[in-house]
Amino acid sequence: MSTSTGSPDRNIPSVRPTSADSSVGKREGEHQAATEPAPPPADDASVEEIVADIEATRERLAESVDALADKVNVKARAQEKVDQTRHQAQEKVSQARARGAELLDQVRHAPWQLRLAIVGVPVLVLAAVIIMRVRRRS
């Protein structure tokens, strides 16, 4: 921690983050105010101004601690990833269902010859495979 001296008789530790600390606690713009400390009160500040500055500093510190706690909470991070993956999977299933319904609708409105081919070709392939296996065994 660096120290700052507001006046010659004060040696108060600074809460200013270093460049390495600037990314701590930030997740998509979250807790940005916690990394940008307010300037210290003037030397001739009133007691109320100093108390207000202390309260603001406490609030920023609490936000920083919360951000760090969120960052190291592995269980919460894992749950967020599970939720994100579940949502993506649900979207893919929904898209696949819509595409399947679209294809089924196309088949239903297709001419009878095409429907026969759609059903007949897999049946013929299956029959050919069965016949080949039976001939190999005998």
Q: Do 96 and 54 fall into the same domain?
A: no
Last residue of a domain, one of 32, 52, 72: 72
What is the spatial distance between Cα 22 and Cα 40, in angstroms, rounded to a whole number?
19
Total domains in the fold of the chain: 2
**pLDDT for residue 43:** 78
Residue ranges of the chain with pLDDT lower than 70? 1-37
**pLDDT for residue 28:** 45
Q: What is the pTM of this model?
A: 0.38
Q: Do 36 and 95 fall into the same domain?
A: no
The neighbour count for residue 66, using CB atoms within 10 Å, is 14
Each residue of 51-67: pLDDT tens digit?
A: 988 999 999 999 999 88
**pLDDT for residue 35:** 59
* Host domain of residue 63: 3-72
